[in-house]
Amino acid sequence: MNDPLLCIDRGNSLCKIAARQAGRLRLLQSIPGQEAERIQQAVRHHVQRLQPRAVVVSSVVPAADRQLKRSLPGSLPVYFIRHRHIRGIINTYQPAEAIGIDRLIALSRAYELSSAACVVCDFGTACTVTACDNDGRLLGGMIMPGVHTQLSSLSNRTAQLPAFTPFRPQTILARTTRDGIMSGVFHNLLAATRLALKSAGPGTRSAACFLTGGWAGLFAADLAEADPPCRHEPLLLLQGAADIFDRSFA
């Protein structure tokens, strides 16, 4: 195990930076994805402070990859995870490289943890559900606008609907506009996720289910009682990136 290792998850809404030291992964910083200069400064800061042996990156923002690499010392090995680096998952997507690398990394980590059929529900800019069977064969998944994406769409495309920070609604039928919007968005995603879990197929009935992504905490209590029950793993993707580094780059 080559530690310290700096792990970066470059998503659309957030860039997450984590460090693995002495075999333990911890989140260092989460930065809004649109703040490119701040991301570069943060990466430089953590590299100077930690002096990692390497940096491993999961990115779904190709335009930002070059900027990210320029922010690092030329002598520091930087590895961007590509589809060919995924092990354990039989990719049946059409075409194979059209599936987001973040989904495959998270699924590969979930499959490694469960050694059996598993489902990953990622609540980010998009909410995705991705499943594989006992042999690691990709069954497919679902893609939906995420919590913040839905809320932003309503506030940006209407004259009187407010913008606000997402929260877990206390009721289904609401008596205020704010509560009504949140209930609609929350229960829309909750119902769709439950449907995806139910529809994954007989081979996943005893599957392990993992929740991850920035808004997963909103749904953790409700989906802990789903079938299959889901457990919250905030660092699933970053740990998966570290695992892939060990197998493919170290």
The encoded tokens of residue 162 equal: 């407010």
Contact 157, 181 (CB under 8 A): no
Instruction: Please state, in angstroms and rounded to a whole number, the distance separating the CA atoms of residues 130 and 124.
Output: 13
Instruction: Please state, in angstroms and rounded to a whole number, the distance separating the CA atoms of residues 82 and 104.
Output: 10
Helix axes 216-223, 177-199, angle to 10 degrees: 60
- Radius of gyration for the chain, computed over Cα atoms and rounded to the nearest angstrom: 19
Instruction: Please state, in angstroms and rounded to a whole number, the distance separating the CA atoms of residues 119 and 36.
Output: 32
Instruction: Please state, in angstroms and rounded to a whole number, the distance separating the CA atoms of residues 83 and 105.
Output: 9
Instruction: Please state, in angstroms and rounded to a whole number, the distance separating the CA atoms of residues 12 and 34.
Output: 8
Give me the catalytic one of 9, 102, 122, 133.
102
102 given a catalytic annotation: yes
Q: Is the peptide bond before 162 cis (omega within 30 degrees of 0)?
A: no
DSSP single-letter state for residue 170:
S
Contact 16, 241 (CB under 8 A): no
Q: Find residue 9's DSSP bridge partners.
A: 16, 58
Instruction: Please state, in angstroms and rounded to a whole number, the distance separating the CA atoms of residues 128 and 185.
Output: 15
Instruction: Please state, in angstroms and rounded to a whole number, the distance separating the CA atoms of residues 179 and 194.
Output: 22
Active site residues: 102
